[in-house]
Amino acid sequence: MDREIYEYRARILKAMANPSRLMIMDTLSSGEKSVAALQEMIGSDISTVSKHLSVLKSAHIVIDRRSGAQVFYRLAVPCILDFFSCVNMVIQSDAEKSGRVASMIG
Amino acid sequence: MDREIYEYRARILKAMANPSRLMIMDTLSSGEKSVAALQEMIGSDISTVSKHLSVLKSAHIVIDRRSGAQVFYRLAVPCILDFFSCVNMVIQSDAEKSGRVASMIG
DNA sequence: TTCTTGTTTGGTAGTATGACCAATCACGCA
DNA sequence: TGCGTGATTGGTCATACTACCAAACAAGAA
């Protein structure tokens, strides 16, 4: 088996596999945002947000653009979010089994 | 923002974000397999494979079925693999930029 | 140049991951 | 009941993640 391709894919998934980073991606789906704007959404320290963004950038999930003192980030490949229509199926089948409410799906 | 849904999604992505587990998922896309069969594909210790499977099972990505002494695993939600048509776009745009070969995409 | 705003980087601490070996459990058969 | 095969669990170690604070950096205004 070609291990390299799986390592590459894993790197991308790993970059996504964090609640704050998923929030960031979701926020960016409606257009580019500055670090400060994202920080307001997420609520953690701005240095933490900046590091999350650098993780997403290293994985080529977001692209940055400087404008004066601000840096704006946007999704490089918006289809990345389509994935969750399937993830939601996992959540759904789990929620049904455990009797949790459908509001989990969002 | 509803942090709970992002934590749930992150848990699923985290469960997927490992090369061996992606190999397992890919292998299971062609039908259910025993732990020993998967171990042969992956190459690591069988205890390691078993632990990977338990991670995937906890995330409701795979379902197990016992038959005699053997346990067979299969994908719970096969669409989970569709995701990679998009992940490949990330790989592709990255590969173009860095001049890496298209064989990365597999 | 100096100040201010916006962002990134360095350092640290606590927690989680992933690999292996050894031991245990589950099942079917003698 | 005792054996053998197949799978899981416990223990350990090295490595990686994620949060925060503090310090440094980048750009524009005074």
Can you read off the two tokens belonging to residue A86? 């399937």
**Model confidence at B87, in pLDDT bands (50, 70, 90)?**
low
**Nearest nucleotide (C1') to alpha carbon of A14:** D17
Query: Which of the nucleotides in strand D have any atom less than 7 Å away from a protein CB atom?
Result: 4-10, 17-23, 26-28
Across the interface, whether the CB atoms of B9 and A3 are under 8 A apart is answered no
Domain segments of chain A as ranges: 3-75, 77-106
The whole-angstrom separation of Cα A55 and Cα A92 is 29
Min Cα separation B29/chain A (Å): 15
Q: Which residues from B are below 8 Å from A when comparing CB atoms? A: 1-10, 12-14, 16-23, 26, 41, 59-61, 76-77, 79-80, 82-84, 86-87, 89-91, 93-94, 104-106
Please list the alpha-helical segments (H only) found in chain B: 3-16, 19-28, 35-42, 46-58, 83-98
Q: Which of B76, B80, B93 sits opposite A76 (nearest CB)?
A: B93
Q: Which of A10, A13, A106 sits opposite B5 (nearest CB)?
A: A106
- Average pLDDT on A21-38 reads 96
Across the interface, whether the CB atoms of B23 and A12 are under 8 A apart is answered no
Specify the CATH number of the domain A3-75.
1.10.10.10
Across the interface, whether the CB atoms of A10 and B22 are under 8 A apart is answered yes
Q: What is the pLDDT of residues A67-98, one digit of tens each?
A: 999 999 999 988 888 777 776 766 666 656 55
Q: What is the pLDDT of residues B10-24, one digit of tens each?
A: 999 999 999 999 999
pLDDT value at residue B91 = 62
Across the interface, whether the CB atoms of B19 and A10 are under 8 A apart is answered yes
The whole-angstrom separation of Cα A26 and Cα A37 is 13
The angle formed by the CA atoms of residues B83, A44 and B60, to the nearest 5 degrees, is: 35
Can you read off the two tokens belonging to residue A28? 């960016």
Q: State which amino acid sits at residue B11.
A: R
Q: How far is CA B59 from CA A17, A72, B8, B32, B90, in A?
A: 13, 34, 9, 17, 25
Q: How far is CA A7 from CA A16, B29, B67, in A?
A: 14, 18, 32
**Nearest nucleotide (C1') to alpha carbon of A70:** C6
